[in-house]
Structures are given as structure tokens and as C-alpha cells.
Structure 1
């Protein structure tokens, strides 16, 4: 058993979001091919992302509660196995059936249910295992790994599509099973506290939202919008590269990886620098949202591919500044006994943002390029304003100790008049 904080333990934790992302994002570059091969509409093919993410978003709060009650590993391991099984079902349907769309869609829902118990619970597990700067660094690492999966996914998906388009479904089940084994044997979970009765558990959650609901709900929304824009942009870029610029295969995958690489690098650096400095986190979040808003406005004025890729990469850098800060704030906002549910609610909304992104972008693409990006810029600007007014660091220390009060005094609370 590796020591807590060892490279082997961190690598195992980082593999969880990597597997989750590969299962979802590797199909992005093959969506246009799937559309042709299965004779689908653009909306039908966008449901391949939406079905996965919507299923995950609905299930995550339930697995969050179960992880708080029974432990993190007993949720993560079966979830990874189910995730791999869903991929096998989708691949077999595409390979053996003439009309495979409905079965593949069901398999994507199964994958989404499995994904619900992976990265969201890993985030809570990191909060259990680490504290202080080690926690923010570990959270930055899994956000960066999450992003790295998005970088590798279009390239790997495009390479596998050279064999056959549905090879992407068969590619990651083995990785799911290996990661499940690694989590079970290499992660030493701290002894969970005696689980609270459901009534007491719900009362504790109610108290958390009573004390911190304003900033928590805002943080959930901001994270959701960040992922909504990111996956919508990937869907848009994948579509225009193939339909307007006739780019396919590895070249298209490499181009899709460019904006994602900007996000990955930024997220990793940010996670390592923010530590527990909450005023700094707020400044970084506002900076990231400013960059994201400005880049989306600028893209509305340009359709040249090189300029768009540069601006979309800039927007992804803004997202990379935003997400590690949100992860650290939310994970540290509650005691261990409710952490699984809080991080799960946050990730649930992130998944729903991913689910809504492709169909909304598809609809707005049908109107006009400027309508699409000016609408997205307006949404990014709204998240900036919400962050500015509702997420305000101001933890108060216990008198004479210099230690922050536990468990939830992260932000200023306006006293009742």
C-alpha cells in the first residue's frame, strides 16, 4: 500500500477522471462519421454526448450520498466497471447490428450512470485524503488530467477511427477495469465516520445551504457554464473542420487538441499555485471569466480558421484558470460527512452543462455564427457578474488561534438585520 500523497497514489487518483473523459470525449471527432454511417440528423448525433452527460448528471447526487454513507472506493470501483461494460455494449451494437442507434444510445446512458461514480467521487476522496496546499495541488492535478483526457481524446479517437469508427467504444473498457483494480488495491481510504441517519444527513445538508447557499449555488452554476461552453465549442469546431474545411482523421483531432491543451496547462499551473489563498482564487476566477467572455465576443467577428482556433484557445485558458479554483473552494467548503454530496451536486451540474452544450450549439449554429458566439459571450459575462457579487472570500478565524473555523466558514455571511 503506497503512502498517502505518494506518486503512485496520485497517479491512481488522476487516472479516474482521465478514464471518465476518454469514454465521453473520444467520440467527438467521430460524430460526423457516425452521422453518415447511421444516417442520423445532427441533433440525433449530438444526443450521443447529451445522453451520457444527462444520465450522469441525474445519478451523481445519489452516488454522492452513497459515498458519504459507505465510503468512496466502494462506489468508484463498481462505477468504473459499469462504465467499461457500457462501452462494450455500444461497440458490439455498432459492429453487429444494422440499426444500432437506439442500443448505442442506451449504452451511452449506462456509461453515464457509471461515470457518475468516478471523477465526482474522486474529488471528494481527495478532500478526505489531503488538506491545505496538498489538497489544492491534487485537485489541480485531477482537473489537469481531466483536461489532458480531452486533449488526447480527439487524437486517439481520430486514430482509432482509421480502423473503424466504432473502435472508440472498445478502446477504454480495459483501462476502466485496470483503474478499478488500482483504486481498490492502491488507495488507502481513511476510516469513514459513523454514517448519519438519513434525516440527520439531510438536515446537515440543509444547514450547509442555509449558511453558504448563495455562493455555493453560484459556484455550481459557474462551473456548469464553463463546461457547457467548452464542450459546445468542441462540438462546433469538430463540425466546421469536417464540413467546411474538409479536415478529418488525425489532423482534425490534433486541431481539436489545441484549445484543450491551453486549458490543461493553465489548470495544472493554477492548481499548484493557489494553495488555500481564497482572495487569490477569486481574482483568478474573475480573470478567467473576463478572458473567456472577451474571446467569445472576438470569435463572433471572425470565421478565419486560424484566428478562431487562437481565440478559442484563449477562451480555454480562461476556463483553465476558473475550474481549479472552483474545485478547491467547493471541496473545502464542508465537513467530510457531507463532502460527497456537495461535490456530487457540483459535478452533476457540470455534467448537465456538458449535456446541454452540443444541442444548444447545434441550434445556434443553424441561426448564424455571430448569434452563436455573442450569445455564449453574454452567458460568460453573466457568470462573471455572479462571481463578482456572490463569491466573496472572507473566512473568519477563531480568536487567538489563526485557524479557520470548521467546517464551513469560507465566505462572508451577511448578518441578518
Structure 2
């Protein structure tokens, strides 16, 4: 790959968080995480008004995240060969148009098709935002920019469920229109983002072959499996089916559901800020193992909770697990990955993340259909403990 000239150098620069380019990247990050967390509080209302079985509503997440599995590595290579803007701008525009269209349909099957198209637009956003930081900054500035970007993402995941729940009071379809914000962000990227546009002479097959060859060992399998499992638990049990429990068992409003989901994200933010201290005492592997124990506890107690506000115990515990778990997965992966294939390997991990997002609602929906809503959380808890065993076996050296 051609060398990338960082344009963040200079002695008289403003603090990195005031840099216009980084502020635009923050906007991309906030759009990239908008597509799921802002709409899940409205799922119970949507299921009722469109006469959709509760076990099928998770398909709205599955069809949205599925394009990530197929397109993330392809779009990553194209961004290296053609330039970042030529991928980012069309992606943002497509995301915005398809998202707004979702708000105007009243047929569930058509809604699924539009969500799939919307997911195609979203597929590149959560990888190219970090890639841009790597392009634009180096050294301590890059580390600081990565940290700020992660914090912005956490704020988004904290607030979007509440925003979506509040908007859903007007109607289930209104939160689906929030992606209209992606269109002006796309224009901002096109005309205002000042970034180098690296191009690679490495062809697609060679890129994937070399990257995949460097991770074909048991330890990388354990890390990738942990990524899949983390997002299966998050998107399958918590984000998709916990709102169904809140609506059916406690008759919670969409706004209340949004607040409850947001509480988990708030815990993630607080826990992530303490991760530096934790890593001084515990290895990344230890923190990952602990996270799956924490997930299992948070999931297993849900069927025994008989007050909606006591569900805050479960959401807080689960947020604790996510706050120490997934950042540790990313850290361990970055430590183990050969530097020359770091971007490719992160892209592969992003594909596995998409697998987890896609499979979680689907498999938990099957459990719901066979054994009922409580089985979703018991099955998820057991799967979390099974993942702990797989990860431990793969990473013990």
C-alpha cells in the first residue's frame, strides 16, 4: 500500500478535538450508529400497528446489519483504491434516502427491503470513520482522536434510544426518518473534509488472501468468535427482545423503553473511561473472559424481575460487561495483528461483528417462537458461558 502522508503535523495546531476534520468524523460516527438504537424502542408499537408477530420484528435489525457482512471488506478495499470520499459520500446519501423512505411505508415486507438498502449505505461508515483518523493523525494525536471518537459513539448509543422513544410517541414511523441527517453530513464530507486519498495497487483477492492468511490460527478464531457472540447477545437479547418484555410485561411506553436501553449505554461510557486503570491490573484476555460471565448474569436474571425499574439492574450489569469486553477485544486484536495487515484484519473483525448483529435477532427469535420470551434470555446466558469456554480454550497458551 502506498504510504499515507499524515496532515495533522505542525507545531501550532489547535487541540485535536477542535480540528474541523475530526468534528466531521464525529458526525460520520454518530450517523453510523443511528440505524438500530434509534428505532428499537418503537418495535413493540410497530409490531402492533403493522400486525407483525413479535418474534419477527427482529428481522428489522437482521436485514439492516446483513449488508455489513458482505460489503465491509469490499468497501474497505475500494476506499484504499479509489479514495475515502468516493465511498463515504454515496454511502451517506443512500443511507439517508432509504432511511427516510422507511418512514413512509406501511407494509412490513417493503419495510424490510428498504432496511436492507439502508444497511448497504451504513456498511462502510463504522470502519471508514476510524480509517480517516488513521489517515489524518499520527502519534499521540491519533490516540487522542480515537479516544474522543469512541466517547462520541458512546454518547450516541446513550441518547439515541431516548430520542427515538420520544419521537415514537408521535408514531412508530417517525424514528425511521432520522437518517435524513446523513444527507447534509454527506455534503459536508464532500466539500469540507480535507483528507489524503491513498490508493493501493494491491488487488482485492491478494488483499484478502494475505490478510486472512495472517489470522488463520486458534487465537484469532477465539477473538473473532467473541466478537460474534458479544453482538449476538447485544442485538439478539437486549436491543431486540428486552423492549418486548418491557411492553408486554410492564406496558411501558416507547419513551420509557428508550430510557431503559439508554441506561445500558451510559454504563458502557462510564466503564470504558475506567478501562485504562483496569488494564494496569488485568490483561485484555482476563477482561474479555470476565465480560462473558457478566453478560450471563445480566441475562439470566431478567425473567425473575417483576418491576420495570428493577430492570435497570440488568441493563447496568450488561453495560458493565460491554464496557470492559469489546474494547478489550479490539485492543487484543490490535496487539496481535501484523501491522501491515492491521486495517484488513480490523475489517475482517467488522465483518464478524456484522455476523453477530445479524444472527442474534434471528436465533433469539427462533428461541422465542419455540419456548417463549423468557427462553431468549436463558438461551443467551448459556451461550455467553459457552463463549467463555471457547475463548479460554483458544487463547490459553
What is residue 98 of structure 2 aligned with on the other side?
Answer: 86
Rounded to whole Å, the distance in 2 between the matches of 1:182 and 1:14 is 12
- State yes or no: 1:233 paired with 2:238: yes
More off after superposition, 105-114 vs 380-389: 380-389
Give runs of aligned pairs for residues 176-325 of structure 1, distance below 5 A. 176-185=182-191, 187-190=193-196, 192=198, 194-210=200-216, 213-231=217-235, 232-270=237-275, 280-299=283-302, 301-325=304-328
Deviation at 1:226, TM superposition (A): 1.2
- Which one of the candidate residues 141, 155, 161 is aligned to 1:148? 155
Q: Is the 8 A contact 2:7 2:195 kept in 1?
A: no
Deviation at 1:253, TM superposition (A): 1.6
What is residue 103 of structure 1 aligned with on the other side?
Answer: 110
Alignment partner of 1:163: what SS? coil
Change in Cα spacing, 1:347 to 1:274, as seen in structure 2 (3 Å) is: farther
What is residue 56 of structure 1 aligned with on the other side?
Answer: 68
Deviation at 1:136, TM superposition (A): 5.2
Deviation at 1:11, TM superposition (A): 3.2
CA deviation digits over 1:300-357, x for unaligned, max 9?
A: 5544433333023212211111112222343565567644432222122212212222
Change in Cα spacing, 1:279 to 1:242, as seen in structure 2 (3 Å) is: closer
What is residue 126 of structure 1 aligned with on the other side?
Answer: 133
What is residue 171 of structure 1 aligned with on the other side?
Answer: 178
Deviation at 1:151, TM superposition (A): 2.1
CA RMSD across the alignment:
3.1
Alignment partner of 2:223: what SS? helix
Q: How many residues align?
A: 383
Rounded to whole Å, the distance in 1 between the matches of 2:95 and 2:67 is 12
Deviation at 1:141, TM superposition (A): 4.1
TM-score (norm 1): 0.80
Q: Is the 8 A contact 1:121 1:344 kept in 2?
A: no
- Which one of the candidate residues 382, 388, 391 is aligned to 1:387? 391
CA deviation digits over 1:240-269, x for unaligned, max 9?
A: 211221111322221221122112332344
Alignment partner of 1:164: what SS? coil
- State yes or no: 1:372 paired with 2:384: no
- State yes or no: 1:11 paired with 2:27: no
TM-score (norm 2): 0.84
What is residue 407 of structure 1 aligned with on the other side?
Answer: none
More off after superposition, 138-147 vs 216-225: 138-147
What is residue 358 of structure 2 aligned with on the other side?
Answer: 355
Give runs of aligned pairs for residues 72-83 of structure 1, distance below 5 A. 72-83=84-95
Alignment partner of 2:170: what SS? coil
Deviation at 1:112, TM superposition (A): 0.6
Q: Is the 8 A contact 2:268 2:322 kept in 1?
A: yes
Deviation at 1:190, TM superposition (A): 4.2
More off after superposition, 78-87 vs 151-160: 151-160
